[in-house]
Amino acid sequence: MSNDSPASPPPAATPLTRAVLEIDTYAAGLGWDQPARLFALVDTGRLRAEEPELAERLGLGEEAAAGTLTPVEQEEVPADVPLDEFLATIGWPDAVAGCALTIERLMLPPSAEASVPEDLDEAALAAWVAKHPGRQEVRMTVAVLRDGDRESALRLREKDSELDVLTGADLVPGLAQALEATFAA
């Protein structure tokens, strides 16, 4: 089947976009209701040169394109620690070019913002959102590079198809900023 087939998603424009979509596809293969997952993004050529055994285990042979990024899943993200607190504990070695996180959340349409009750604590707000008829389950994959480049992919549970994944640099700016902060040390 050629890449021009209408059933194929369009090719990603940048190595970062390709890495985000690769992570999104991986997460989709695991199904929904999964924990958050953190990935280091490493330059594929550097990985092959400096860690040939790891590159072989990851299936990165000679044909792996130069200039691409390889996502390497990290240890489990703790479910009992707020995400912002967990991310504040992370520091990356110089060999890591960037990082990515995939996480599932409930989102409301912008029209619902005006109806959010005031003075709700985090737990009460989460319960209110979970009961809202306009809520959408979404998987967000957000990646950043040391140089500040960012990319995101959003997949709605009700449109769970590679053809319906929305990508863009600023889809989840707060999470991108939190990931960028993991490189500020």
d(CA 177, CA 99): 12
Residue 3 — very low, low, confident or very high, per pLDDT cuts 50/70/90? very low
pLDDT for 137-149, tens place per residue? 899 999 999 999 9
Binned at pLDDT 50, 70 and 90, residue 158 comes out as confident
If you average pLDDT over residues 45-54, what whole number do you get? 82
Mean pLDDT confidence for 148-160: 91
Per the model's pLDDT, the better-predicted residue between 155 and 131 turns out to be 155
pTM of the model: 0.81
* pLDDT recorded at residue 8: 43
Q: Count other C-beta atoms under 10 Å from residue 156's C-beta.
A: 15
| CB of 136 closer than 8 Å to CB of 156 | yes
